[in-house]
Amino acid sequence: MPRTRLIYGCAGTEVSAEERAFFREAQPWGFILFARNVRDPGQVRSLVSALRETVGDARAPVLIDQEGGRVARLKPPHWKSHPPAQRFGDLYRTAPDASREAAYLNARSIAQELVALGIDVDCVPVLDVPVEGADSIIGDRAFSRHPTVVIALGRAAIQGMLDGGVLPVMKHVPGHGRANADSHLALPRVATPPTELRATDFAPFRALNDCPLAMTAHVVYEALDPENPATTSATVIRDVIRGEVGFSGLLLSDDLSMNALSGSLGERARAALAAGCDIVIHCNGRQAEMEAVAGEAMPLDGEYLVRAEKALSHLHAPAEFDSPAAEARLAELLGAIA
């Protein structure tokens, strides 16, 4: 049976018999982990292995959101505490070279922790450019309010992930920084003219469009498509993400279960796939919702399979890394703004 254009979460710290049977039938391309799935390193490694076994593919991607700061699924005492992206942007103001080095070392350190668990995709970096008055959902998850800084530090983070044997996912294309609502809770709308969007919001994604994966924004850009958020907008995906931004990699939807989207879970999946998302993500692990999404599953074939395989081709064994030395150097660099 062919794999499908889906990524699923699961409910707990082990794969239940019901989930095992469902994943075996649904054949998702990959899986995504959250804090509810995490207890300790041994348990996470077992869970990752069990998820891959359900689809019979040791290469099935396993994703996580391990940004640092308030978005971290892996936390002390078993894992390190990593700073939010804004910390590197703060350092950039006085020491650009040191800031780029710190962003690289931080990403490399996160990647090392993930590889040890069998996790091979991290949904970073956040390339959104926040503006004054926007909802705080992005906030310190962003490197800076200046696109040039976001580009420099985003590039460092992407390289750190790739050198560490983990695929990065730039988000949230084409930009969540102006959102006037938390898309987990409601649908944000942005009325900014296209010329300004191109100069600010789109700029980091355009500059870093060689990132192997990207994740869409559940945001309506009224000047581009007044009805549909980017995730379900064929216009935004075709003309902006694939067109102006020039992204040719694997395009993932943000979580289908977020309240920014409307309609049933099946309708959301159908709309996102029809609009041009290569793969859709359902995160919360609720069985009934997963089954509804599976009802709209499409085979991972043709151009979608080509892009998926190209993304996976960026995975390489981690480069040599002296973790204690890197941690000491990172602390030294960030100490300059403590």
Residues annotated catalytic, as ranges: 184, 254
Name residue 46's amino acid. Answer: S
Contact 187, 262 (CB under 8 A): yes
Name residue 235's amino acid. Answer: T
CA distance 150 to 209: 13
Contact 334, 83 (CB under 8 A): yes
Strands 66-68 and 71-72: antiparallel
Two tokens at 179? 């959102």
3-state secondary structure of 55: helix
Place of tokens 């069998």: 118
Bridge partners, 122 (sequence order): 64, 168
CA distance 301 to 4: 8
CB neighbour list of residue 244: distance below 8 Å, 6 or more residues apart: 174, 198, 202, 206
CA distance 162 to 212: 10
Bridge partners, 279 (sequence order): 252
Strands 167-173 and 66-68: unpaired
Place of tokens 């006085």: 94
CA distance 180 to 163: 36
